[in-house]
Amino acid sequence: MPRTQTTCPACHQPVIVEIQQLFDLTQEPQAKQKLLSNAVNAMHCPACGYQGMVAVPVVYHDPEKEMLLTFFPPNLNAPLNEQEKQIGPLINRVMTALPQEKRKAYLLQPQSMFTYQTLIEKILEADGITKEMLEEQKKRIKLLEKLLTSPKEGRLQIIKEEEKLFDIGFFTVFSRIVQSTVAQGDESSKKELLELQQLLFENTQVGKDLYGQAKETESALKALREAGKEGLTREKLLDLIITTKSDIGLSTVVSYARSGMDYAFFQLLSEKIDHTTDKAEKENFTGLREKLLTMTDEIDKRVKEEFENSKTLLESILKAENIEEEVMKNIESVSDFFVQNLESELSLARKKGDLERINKLEQVMVVIEKVSSPSDGVKLLEAMLVSKTEEEIDTLLTENKDRITEEFQALLNNVIAQTENQPSQKEVSDKLRSIFRKVLRFTMKANMEKKD
């Protein structure tokens, strides 16, 4: 993906940004998700933390919905003929990528979107997400902004007045904002958001429900870890399940310990039912068995479906002219099931001596291994984490100055966010924050030297 250097509008430091102008689902199935999630054309200044979108012309193509959209940022102040010069080649690339029989009339009449927001709304509308739904989303965001900018003593009154807006959708938006803030290492904003979150958990019905569910899940996982400290046996698993009272807790245990719930496990439960003389207790155990059978059956169905999907994906990749390119197009769909199926098919092909299939399967394996191997940034961060002194980290920064990129800082932020709320990872979290401060000082110094 093309990368370009631009200037941060807040602190005027140079920033490297990944630019993508063509979002064509014919050539890139993940293009829509990248556009909607602001995964590209988004500026994040490592020096001051500024975030915003870079103004570039965009073309979006969805062949299934026969949709070709264009957007030219008004603030570029380009005359119409210049806009056509920049948009035209992108549309030509869309046409060229399509077989002759799939080139339809809609391609000759691209729809021009006057604002970036209109472009996003048009795409979402085609997926069944109406303007009314988007308006509801905006209301939730405005409500959150109102809460954050109001004095703390007045927040409870706002919560009571706007009780209907505090639904699952609101808490989903809120959760994403919290995660983003944690990832950026903004301690002040993080504290403010977590305080507000706790207030909402305690004073809204949906908040109380979500908090209760989270606690039940956490409790179930803690009990499962305790039971497995010296090895999780079927007997221990059965005892844990019997003492788990809520459906949420039960569902959590089953999802994590499905492999232990085999025929022998259910035989243990059946024997317990047979030896129970108390009628009420016997009914409870029988009901529990039926519930467990339903839960495990649902998990097995999902696993089977995912495995079949992975087989279908593998076969479609093997039929492609450029296997490496096809793997990269579908890399987000490469799961553990896909890798298991790939290994199984490779083993089978070797037994049959099918050289052509072996070659294709090995090409897929090489691409996956290449993508999954630790990047230079990961290796550098690991080296910093095992360093014993501050001087060693300083040396690593100096020796690897070309690797201290925006991507490295994003990686560092993500790792910090993952360890942030884990008490067992406090030492690692503290070390990561120390590294973050050093990296920030290092990049700011480097930027100032460039400017001089």
Q: Where are the domains of the chain?
A: 3-129, 132-203, 213-275, 304-372, 376-451
pLDDT band at 185 (very low <50, low <70, confident <90, very high): low
User: What whole-number distance in Å separates Cα of residue 337 and Cα of residue 310?
Assistant: 6
User: What whole-number distance in Å separates Cα of residue 243 and Cα of residue 254?
Assistant: 13
Q: Which range has the worst mean pLDDT, 79-83, 182-186, 336-340, 439-443? A: 182-186
What's the pLDDT at 250? 93
What's the pLDDT at 52? 81
DSSP code string of 312-331: HHHHHHHTSSSHHHHHHHTG
What's the pLDDT at 117? 84
What's the pLDDT at 423? 58
220-250: per-residue pLDDT in tens? 989 998 888 888 899 999 999 999 988 999 9
Burial 400-411 (b: 16+ CB within 10 A, else e): beebbbbebbeb
Tokens at 214, concatenated: 């989270």
User: What whole-number distance in Å separates Cα of residue 174 and Cα of residue 417?
Assistant: 16
The average pLDDT across 289-294 equals 95
Q: Give the residue from 70, 75, 73, 104 showing the smallest Cα distance to 87.
A: 70
What's the pLDDT at 176? 75
The average pLDDT across 298-320 equals 91
What's the pLDDT at 234? 92
Helix or strand (DSSP H, E) at 87 = helix 80-97
- Please state, for a pLDDT cut of 90, what percent of the chain lies above it: 33
Q: Looking at this protein, which amino acid is placed at residue 92?
A: N
User: What whole-number distance in Å separates Cα of residue 130 and Cα of residue 122?
Assistant: 9
Q: 334's torsion region: left (phi>0), alpha (psi -120 to 50) or beta?
A: beta
User: What whole-number distance in Å separates Cα of residue 204 and Cα of residue 399?
Assistant: 53
Tokens at 336, concatenated: 């553990």
Please give the mean pLDDT across all residues of the chain.
86
The average pLDDT across 2-11 equals 78
- Please state, for a pLDDT cut of 70, what percent of the chain lies above it: 93
403-450: per-residue pLDDT in tens? 888 778 777 877 776 666 555 567 787 888 888 888 888 887 777 666
What's the pLDDT at 368? 87
Phi (first) and psi of residue 76, to 5 degrees: -75, -15
* Collapsed DSSP state (helix, strand, coil) of residue 445: helix
Per the listing, tokens 């609101």 go with 170
pTM of the model: 0.54
User: What whole-number distance in Å separates Cα of residue 257 and Cα of residue 299?
Assistant: 11
What's the pLDDT at 347? 94
